Structure 1
């Protein structure tokens, strides 16, 4: 099999089977292409045979080319996924990727998660979960927090009757206060992918997001998944699930959304709670959201 054929199959698996974002598909395919060229690989069996020392040598060569620790950590995650896929394709009964620690990263100042980082976190969690439906579940929860500014408890309080999602969603927040939040196409698709894959019946008045044994999904499980992705991507400890909600607010304000609209979207009881982000004035609620949010335009 030629290198282009291997890469085409890998790209198709990422885009079609795993439904990764275009950014992740490009990054993971590029990482695989570099590995194939550097090691002169020509079959899934060749790739499946790679061990930890091979990955370390490849990453060392990449470091000599000048990539930073954070980029090396992201490339390692991509290559682990690629090798695990190769082992599955070659019939390996234990298709786990080689165990290689990523580079140590200096702790940076607390900062919002960038748009690409938010999607990369969700995609990585999806791709490294123990079961496909669990990965789809966690991706959907995190995209609800980043794309709609939900608190983790609000996302986990959704019920089966809330799916499928429309363009907006009514959420019950602190103190029983209800608000209307817009839903991004990428979030809507993620929730749909989860509901299709979930092995448990999602009845109207039962929790939408289920744990591995069928009960309600706990906040702790989402936090653990986020922590694993944070370490793999070399992000600071401040990159928690709640940071996705902060990023939602920061990105919208920075792009022109007004403070009172954001107060409504976040469900804050007072404007003072929203002012911790910044002071920016602008126009109306849903219109601002669709024009300002970096992921509001699909494609």
Structure 2
């Protein structure tokens, strides 16, 4: 426990724990999100404790003013926290504080009215179709062990061929293979979706299974590290990093870029945006729109080709 976290009053710590348990149990928030909220709000409560010079019980938290919020944000910025990360932290604090204020009956305006810093959203940078294919082919060359090469190809093929997040691909279990034609994926927020699996992806996974030296039992990870444990996503990132260096691709050619590429290339081929939204598991159509990088001229070409003529 950090010194800042240790300074938090027991009452505030208990309130944070109750809120996190509520999120996990009643709002079906993903474990990674709960962990991020815990860290962000713990940091906030710890700052306020030191800022006021004494442990802050629940009653004292109601005295937080706009100037105190600005002081917290200023410290984060001075410590190197970027605008995007600061906005995320503020969002977590607001969510916790709104819940706490409702329970304790005090006015949360000073916290909830704090504005997040503006930042320019980075547009996704998918690979061109030939670059995506080359990436899969070149990833295979990054290991001297055939089974590791087959493993990396299988994972990257699932990212590009099925639009999976890397966490979703690495979350597959032995019981999921051989992969069916349609795979049930549990994504962010425990939201389930059905994803078609291309024959090339099924074949890649089967080749890996045939070569893998570790026993792939039903209840263990499908993709394994060299020592037999569950595969760490860093291994795939490293393989892709080496491959993109060979191919002369930019640093944005990451595992997540393969998912971006899946969405963009489907839309370029005339795919329906809402269908792509379902395949990706996005809650909002606007998120899917941001995920694709099809220029306006190409969108108009798709529109003119698909729209019924009078």
Cα deviation code 1:130-162 (max 9, x no counterpart)? 311000000000000000000000000000011
Give TM-score scaled by structure 1 length.
0.56
The answer to whether structure 1 residue 131 and structure 2 residue 154 are counterparts is no
- Assess if the C-alpha contact under 8 Å between 1:110 and 1:236 holds in 2: no
User: SS state of the match for residue 140, structure 2?
Assistant: helix
Task: Name the structure 2 match of 1:272.
Answer: 286
The answer (yes or no) to whether the contact 2:127–2:261 under 8 Å persists in 1 is yes
Q: Which runs of 5+ in 1 are unaligned?
A: 1-108, 283-299
Note the aligned Cα RMSD (angstroms): 2.1
Any unmatched runs of 5+ in structure 2?
1-122, 303-310
Alignment match of 1:169 (pick from 178, 183, 186): 183
For 1:1-299, list aligned pairs within 5 A: 111-276=125-290, 277=292
Measure the CA separation in 1 of the matches of 2:284 and 2:198. Answer: 26
Please, what TM-score do these two structures have when normalized by structure 2? 0.54
**Structure number, greater radius of gyration:** 2
Give me the whole-angstrom Cα distance separating, in 2, the residues matched to 1:110 and 1:204.
Answer: 36
CA positional deviation for 1:111:
3.9
Verify the 8 A CA contact 1:165 1:188 in the aligned structure 2.
yes
Indicate if the aligned counterparts of 2:267 and 2:273 stay in contact, CA closer than 8 A: yes
Moved more, 121-130 or 150-159: 121-130
Residue aligned with 2:264, SS = helix
Query: CA offsets, 1:15-74, max 9 Å, x none?
Result: xxxxxxxxxxxxxxxxxxxxxxxxxxxxxxxxxxxxxxxxxxxxxxxxxxxxxxxxxxxx
Stretches of 4+ aligned residues off by more than 3 angstroms: 278-282
1:232-254, Cα deviation, whole Å (9 max, x unpaired): 01111111110000000000111
Between the aligned partners of 2:176 and 2:129, the Cα distance in structure 1 is: 26
Q: How many residue pairs are counted as aligned between the two chains? A: 175
Instruction: Give the distance between the partners of 2:130 and 2:155, measured in 1 at CA.
Output: 17
- 1: CA distance, partners of 2:142 / 2:209: 19
